[in-house]
Amino acid sequence: MLTENFLRGRRRRQLTDREKQALEQAVARVEHYPARRTTYHRGELVRHSTLLLSGFMCRYMDDRDGHRQLVGYHIPGDFIDLHGFPLQRLDHDMATITAAEVAIVPHDRLTAITEELPHLARLLWFSTLLDAAIHREWIFRVGRLDAIGRIAHLLCETHARMAAIGRAGDDGGFEFPLTQQDIGEACGLTSVHVNRTLQRLRADHLIEIGAQQVKILDPARLARIGEFSPDYLYLGDALRTP
Amino acid sequence: MLTENFLRGRRRRQLTDREKQALEQAVARVEHYPARRTTYHRGELVRHSTLLLSGFMCRYMDDRDGHRQLVGYHIPGDFIDLHGFPLQRLDHDMATITAAEVAIVPHDRLTAITEELPHLARLLWFSTLLDAAIHREWIFRVGRLDAIGRIAHLLCETHARMAAIGRAGDDGGFEFPLTQQDIGEACGLTSVHVNRTLQRLRADHLIEIGAQQVKILDPARLARIGEFSPDYLYLGDALRTP
DNA sequence: CGTGGGGTTGACTATATTCAAAAGGCGTGG
DNA sequence: CCACGCCTTTTGAATATAGTCAACCCCACG
C-alpha cells in the first residue's frame, strides 16, 4: 500500500476505503532518487506531486552567498510538493537527504479528485496546511529560541512525526540522517555552533546522537527547553503527549 | 464588493463572475474589531473564516516568557484564517494591529463551495498556500538574514503586497502601522535593535519611516539588502519587478 | 592506504541582547 | 487649553550569544 503513511497518526483524518483506493490509483509510477540529489529547482513548472514513500527529503532556499536555509524536512508519508498543485510553481528547491523512493501523482488526477471526491480533496488540502502549521512553528523556532532551544525543538518535532508513522522506538530512539551542517541549515546556525550545542545536550544527558540515530533520553526536559508542544502536528490522541 | 481584494493582483487567478458571486454570498456578516485586540486564541474550535476587508492584522505565537513571535502579517484582501477550515483548530493566535473590518464566512458554506465549485475551491486552497509560501520566506528571513536584511525584507514584502491591492504610491510610500516592537516581533529582534537598524536604513537614504507610513527611497538597493525577490507572492506580471 | 566528509576544538570577532534611563508624541480628562 | 500618563522611540554601557577562521581528528569508503 503506497499511501499507508499518508496522514497516518493524524487526528480524525481517516480516509475511507474508496478514498484510499482513489489515491492509490492516482499514482502514476514510483521513482528512486539517490541521496543528496536536488529533485526540483525553484520556479520550474510542476505537473505532478510526489508522495514520499521511504527515505528523507528537505526543501531549502539558498541565499546570495549560497548559504542554505532549510524550510522543511520530510519523512515517509509526507505529500512533499503537493503545494505545487495549486501553485503550479514552487518558490524553493527540493532535495533528498538519504536515498528516497517517491510516488508520482500527476496533477490532472488530483484535479479529478477535487471534482469527484471533495472530502478527499479537503484531506489533501489539510495535509498542505499541516505543512503550513509546521512552517509557522519553524518561524517561531528560529525567531524566538536560542541555539539549544532550536535544536531541542527540531528533535522533539522529528520524534513526534516519526512516532506518528511508527518509526520511533519506545526508548525515544529514531533514525535521524541530518548532518550537523544540515541541522544548522534548518535552525539558522553554523555547523560549528551546532556541534558545541549538541555537546551540551549530550553532557546534560538529554540526548544521544550519532550514526544517523538520535535517542531522546529526557523527553519532558527536552520539550521544555525547545518550548515544544505537539498541538500543531494535529496528531491522534495517543500520540500527543510530549 | 466585499471580496474585491481577494487574490487581487495575483497571476492567472481571476475568479469568474459566478465564483465572485458565490464567495460574496458565502459572507454571513461583517464585523468590526478595535485596534490591538486578540480575535482568536490558539486551540479554539473554528466554525468560520474571516476575510480581512480593511485594517491590518497579524498572527502570533508567544513563548514561555510571553515574548511574541509574529508568524504572519495581513493586509486587506487576505483570507486570514482560511487555514482553520481544513484544520478546524489553529495553532496560533490572531490579533488586530489597527482597527479592522472583516467578513465572516461560515465553514459550512465553504464546504458547499468545495462540493459545488471545485475551481473556486482550488483558488481558496491556492490562497492558503500563498500564506505557506510567505511562511517559508519568513523562515528564510529570520534564519539566514542579519538585522538589516530582515527589516529590509519585511519592508519589501509589505510594499509588494500593498502594491498588489493598489495601496502603494508611485513614490514607494505605503501605510505601515507596525511599531518598532512589532517589527522586532516579526523579525526575531529586540525593539532596541530594530531602532538602531532603522536608523542605519534612514541614514543610508534607503527608507523614510514614521507616522504609520514607510517610503522606500531606493527599492533596488533595499531588495538587494533584504535578498528579496517577489516570486513567492505569485503576483501578476505588472507587479513583479522588485 | 590514501582521500574526503563529517565532527571537534580553540582563539578571536561580530552581532545582537540586556538593562536602564530619558525624550518625544498623542489622547484623555480636568 | 493644559497637564498628565502612557506608549513609542531613542540613547548608552555592559554583556552574551553566535559567527569566523583555521586546524586537526576520525572513520568510512574507494
Residue nearest to nucleotide D27 (CA to C1'): A211
**Does the pLDDT value for residue B242 go beyond 50?**
no
pLDDT, average across residues A29-55: 95
The total of other beta-carbon atoms located within 10 Å of residue B75's CB is 20
- What is the structure's pLDDT at A240? 52
Residues whose beta carbon sits under 7 Å from strand D: A 146-148, 188-190, 192-193, 197; B 179-181, 191-192, 195-196, 198-199, 210
Asked if the Cβ–Cβ distance from A227 to B63 is below 8 Å, we say yes
Which residues lie below 8 Å from residue A198, measured CB to CB, with a gap of 6+? A151, A180, A183, A207, A209
- What is the structure's pLDDT at A242? 47
**Does the pLDDT value for residue A239 go beyond 70?**
no
The total of other beta-carbon atoms located within 10 Å of residue A179's CB is 12
Residues A9 and B167: their CA atoms lie apart, in Å, by: 44
Read off the amino acid at residue A242: P
The label of the residue with cell 539558522 reads A188
Residue nearest to nucleotide D19 (CA to C1'): A190
Asked if the Cβ–Cβ distance from B140 to A114 is below 8 Å, we say no
pLDDT, tens digit, 9 for 90 and up, residues A18-31: 999 999 999 999 99
The DSSP H or E segment spanning A174 is strand A173-175
Contact list in A for residue B111 (CB cut-off 8 A) is 118, 122
Mean pLDDT, chain A, whole residue set: 93
B-contacting residues of A 78-137, CB under 8 Å?
83, 86-87, 89, 91-92, 111, 114-115, 118, 121-123, 125-126, 128-133, 135-137
**Does the pLDDT value for residue A68 go beyond 50?**
yes
Q: Tell me the percentage of chain A whose pLDDT exceeds 70.
A: 97
Asked if the Cβ–Cβ distance from B69 to A139 is below 8 Å, we say yes
Q: Does A61 touch chain B (CB under 8 A)?
A: yes
Residues B183 and B200: their CA atoms lie apart, in Å, by: 15
Q: Does B71 touch chain A (CB under 8 A)?
A: yes
**Does the pLDDT value for residue B224 go beyond 90?**
yes
Asked if the Cβ–Cβ distance from A114 to B92 is below 8 Å, we say no
The sheet carrying B68-74 orders its strands as B38-40, B93-96, B57-62, B68-74
Contact list in A for residue B64 (CB cut-off 8 A) is 227
**Does the pLDDT value for residue A1 go beyond 90?**
no
Q: Any bridge partners for residue B68, and if so which?
A: B62
Instruction: Measure CB to CB from residue A114 to each of B59, B118, B136 and give the nearest one.
Output: B118
CB A229 within 8 A of CB A152: no
What's the pLDDT band for B123 if we cut at 50, 70, 90? very high
Residue nearest to nucleotide D17 (CA to C1'): A146
Asked if the Cβ–Cβ distance from B133 to A91 is below 8 Å, we say yes
pLDDT, tens digit, 9 for 90 and up, residues A177-187: 999 999 999 99
pLDDT, average across residues A44-55: 95
- What is the structure's pLDDT at B237? 66
What's the pLDDT band for B239 if we cut at 50, 70, 90? low
pLDDT, tens digit, 9 for 90 and up, residues A188-229: 999 999 999 999 999 999 999 988 999 999 999 999 999 999
Residues A25 and A16: their CA atoms lie apart, in Å, by: 14
- What is the structure's pLDDT at B241? 47
pLDDT, tens digit, 9 for 90 and up, residues A105-163: 999 999 999 888 988 988 999 999 999 999 999 999 999 999 999 999 999 999 999 99
pLDDT, tens digit, 9 for 90 and up, residues B162-212: 999 999 988 989 999 999 999 999 999 999 999 999 999 999 999 999 889
Query: Distance (Å) from the C-alpha of residue A153 to the closest C-alpha of chain B?
Result: 13
Q: Tell me the percentage of chain B whose pLDDT exceeds 90.
A: 80
Asked if the Cβ–Cβ distance from A136 to B234 is below 8 Å, we say no
Residue of B230 and A3 predicted with greater confidence: B230
What's the pLDDT band for B65 if we cut at 50, 70, 90? confident
- What is the structure's pLDDT at B12? 67
pLDDT, average across residues B4-16: 83
Dihedral angle sign, alpha carbons of residues B114, B118, B119, B125: positive
Q: How far is CA A35 from the centre of its chain?
A: 16
Instruction: Measure CB to CB from residue B139 to each of A64, A135, A234 and give the nearest one.
Output: A135
Q: Tell me the percentage of chain A whose pLDDT exceeds 90.
A: 83
- What is the structure's pLDDT at A122? 87
